[in-house]
Amino acid sequence: MTQPAYPQLETAFTRLYRYQHLAAIAGWDQAAMMPSKGNDARAAAMAELQVLMHHTLTDPALRGLFDAANSEALTPVQQASLREMRREWQNANLLPASLVEAKSLAGSRCEHAWRSQRKANDWQGFLQNFREVVKLSREEAQYLSDTTGVSRYDALMNLYEPGMNSAEVQRIFDDVKSWLPGLIRDTMQKQAGEQVLQAQGPFAIEAQRALGIEVMGVLGFDFDAGRLDVSVHPFCGGVAEDVRITTRYRDDDFVQSLMGIVHETGHARYEQGLPRELAHLPVGHARSMGIHESQSLSFEMQLGRNPAFLQLIAPLVKKHLGEQPAFDAANLGQLYSRVRPGYIRVDADELTYPAHVILRFEIERALIEGEIEAEDIPALWDEKMLAYLGVDTRGNYQNGCLQDIHWTDGSFGYFPSYTLGAMYAAQYFATIRQQYPDLDSRIATGDLAPVFDWLQSNIWQQASLWSTPELVRRATGESLNPAHFRAHLQARYLG
């Protein structure tokens, strides 16, 4: 008697999930704990694990199992599970091993050289390596496009945001471009007349950490299922059962670090809230990069920078960092809503951030579709930064087109996730506010249950059961609608 195929697929993907657990913990350790001389052995061990995971996903036996599982009687959850397993399997099997290896090598070389080239403002040097990364990324995109039938750029974007297409993104971003520059200008005019007190440091690292821990508690982080540590680049890592978030502290500024913790706590609660009984299968994992970002931005932007929330945590700031007028809730609100166009995406405020993303989306899309070449990037960058943010980046590659790590290893198609996430978050909160018209007064008194309960049942517990558009429709009753994002920004900055 032949064994059914679906359970055999579950077994294979459960093994993969356990390998992914080890990769996640080793990766977290590398960033947060490992001393320098440990790196060579760690890199070799993690590369070996990557090879093993690739072998697991390219096992020739899987093809037959996927074919057979199609005609087996499956529950709706199993059908979704099969779809998600197939997606991971296809992504791993569409590309020839030689291309995967060549891109990995070219990406490592380009990224490694970039670390010093960025400091040296050396665009020409970067270009030598980057041309090869672009060439191989286009080849990758072509393979994916040939099979899936979508355009080359869309095929790459689908690796991060399955179901989204660039025509839709362009339509949404064109809408944003029609009102964002005016909103930025009006906000800056309004804020020009406001007095904002800067908090006076130094702020002891231990006190900042204790404050962060307490705010994570307010935000419902489960410390029996996760940790807070320190790394150079803050991230949310680990595994759903044991989420490891990191931050970095500066003793002359607590503002960035505290909101960074709120942001990563959003990622963390998504992971902690995923359905545990599906944790071992792709269908039980987070839906996409855009949805993940919608959780961190629900926490950071919708909740964290909300005046009602700042009213709630102002006493905690004073408790840990001492009394000073800058820590009054109203002033914290001003600190956390200050708008000022700048060079750097990761330092950007809520309002100017989308402009950084739209610029990158437009450039990388044209680059992958073959409409421009790598050497055309700086001129386009300068033009768009001036048009969208009024910032002059000519000759300043370091703080211009050399600032991000994403392109150095060929991660094209990732950038839109950031702003899609911000828009999803605004749409969720519009829905929550309809159900709870008194949301802000609840938040101010520490009753965050309306937010957590809604996210828990509508997003976290849904994992990857639905495509992104379907998930958003089921949660909010409509497709992604940028009007919510615009209304949120207008209310917060001009309201």
**Minimum CB distance to a copy of itself, residue 112 (Å):** 13
Tell me which residues in 252-281 interact with a copy of itself (CB under 8 A): 279
Site for a copy of itself contains 41 (CB under 8 A): yes
Which residue, chain included where needed, has tokens 């960074």? Answer: 260
> Interface with a copy of itself includes 29 (CB under 8 A)?
yes
- Report if residue 33 touches a copy of itself, rule: CB under 8 A: yes
37 lies in the site for a copy of itself, by CB under 8 A:
yes
Rounded least distance, CB 14 to a copy of itself, Å: 8
Is residue 59 part of the contact set for a copy of itself (CB under 8 A)?
A: no
For tokens 């809604």, the residue is 454
Number of residues in contact with a copy of itself under rule CB under 8 A: 34
101 lies in the binding site for a copy of itself (CB under 8 A): no
Q: Which is nearer to a copy of itself, 242 or 293 (CB)?
A: 242
Active site residues: 264
- Which residues in the 115-154 window bind a copy of itself by CB under 8 A? none
Q: Does 21 bind a copy of itself (CB under 8 A)?
A: yes
In the complex with a copy of itself, the residue whose CB is nearer, 47 or 346, is 47
Distance CA 53, CA 401 (A): 33
- Residue among 80, 117, 53, 1 at smallest CA distance from 408: 117
Should residue 49 be labelled a site residue for a copy of itself when binding is judged by CB under 8 A?
yes
Nearer to a copy of itself, 194 or 224 (CB): 224
State in angstroms the smallest separation of the CB of 483 from a copy of itself.
40
Choosing from 149, 182, 224, 277, the residue that interacts with a copy of itself (CB under 8 A) is 224
Report the nearest approach of a copy of itself to the CB of residue 456 (Å): 17
Which chain residues interact with a copy of itself by CB under 8 A? 15, 18-19, 21-22, 25-26, 29, 33-38, 40-42, 44-45, 48-49, 52, 222-227, 238-242, 279
